[in-house]
Amino acid sequence: MSQQYRSRPLGSDVALSEAYDTALLDLDGVVYAGGHAIVHAVESLGSAREGGMHLAYVTNNALRTPDAVAEQLTELGVPADATDVITSAQAVARLMADQLPSGARVLVVGGEGLRVALRERGLVPVESADDDPVAVVQGFGGPDLPWGRFAEAAYAISRGAVWFASNTDLTIPGARGIAPGNGAAVEVVRIATGAEPQVAGKPLPPMHRETVLRTGAKRPLVVGDRLDTDIEGAFNGGVDSLLVLTGVTDAAQLIAAEPRYRPTYVDRDLRGLLTGQPEVSEDVDGFRCGGWTAGVRGEALVLDGGGDAIDGLRALCAAAWTHAGEGACGLDAQKAVARLDL
């Protein structure tokens, strides 16, 4: 395309697992939610791996170590080694090691994943602002993280410690729904101190750098459920992406997306790795995909036809993104989306 923005999801004549050498897969909302595998994930990833695609698991969740994540994946039926897992804890530890002397003390507000990553980079985790830390690192600590940990962070930052955060995802999907993520906890410390952290996780460059260094991917495909981390991270890294609708993002949010949040491909779930992707074509009636045609009438998006609902969503994205250009689409899409069983 000649535009500097994506105006429609792309098609692929071959399965995505053949078109790309490495899938950079988000975990929460893509592979599992609340400790349980998402439907079709295990079988789809197994088929992709058997076909020769390298699978790497890239998560903004800094709570657990790569070993622990790999063990959980294997128990779910997705064989993985620790080297297949890249976390925002590893990315932020590298970012900190580039700025701090070896042996520097770092106050940790988070879980074991952060502590292990810091030690790998020659940094020393401590628990109190009274331990004279030169830096504070904050990552997701799970639902039982004590409130006092935020106070320790605030004390240390107020005394001059440099503040880092693994990521700033405001929410995290779980078995019971959407819960506050590390970004919500970061806001607590930001409000208390007035400081701003250096952030490593998706969608920012340190996470992309860490992923490339650890996987050696040549033709990577980012696979995620979030527009503001997974898809924007792929956009910032200049690589293609697949959005799956098994996590945070819904159809209305996707249709309204501005350019940096628009994925290359869209599918229901990880079965999308194993198939080609249909073309979205333009004709006099609008944008056509499968048996659906989407267009703009007045201030609303309209959808006609029938067939696979995901094709209808692809057509709606093309109509909305083309209309919006370099901005976000503000057209009324409620009636059009209601026609789709997603």
Active site residues: 26, 28
Sequence-ordered list of residues with C-beta below 8 angstroms from that of 116, at least 6 positions apart, any chain: 65, 89
- Peptide bond preceding 203: is omega within 30 degrees of 0, i.e. cis? yes
The phi and psi torsions of 132 (rounded to 5 degrees) equal: 60, 50
Nearest by Cα to 99 from 163, 19, 154:
163
Residue 148 contacts residue 180 (beta carbons within 8 Å): no
**DSSP per position, 173-200:** EETTEEEE-HHHHHHHHHHHH----EE-
SS3 state of residue 235:
helix
Question: What CA–CA distance (Å, rounded) separates 16 from 44?
Answer: 12
Question: What CA–CA distance (Å, rounded) separates 19 from 220?
Answer: 9
Question: What CA–CA distance (Å, rounded) separates 284 from 114?
Answer: 55
Question: What CA–CA distance (Å, rounded) separates 56 from 289?
Answer: 31
Question: What CA–CA distance (Å, rounded) separates 88 from 107?
Answer: 17
**DSSP per position, 131-159:** G--SEEEE----TT--THHHHHHHHHHHT
Residue 341 contacts residue 305 (beta carbons within 8 Å): no
Question: What CA–CA distance (Å, rounded) separates 4 from 89?
Answer: 33
- Return the C-alpha torsion angle 162, 113, 199, 154, nearest 10: -40
Question: What CA–CA distance (Å, rounded) separates 244 from 193?
Answer: 37
Residue 296 contacts residue 264 (beta carbons within 8 Å): no
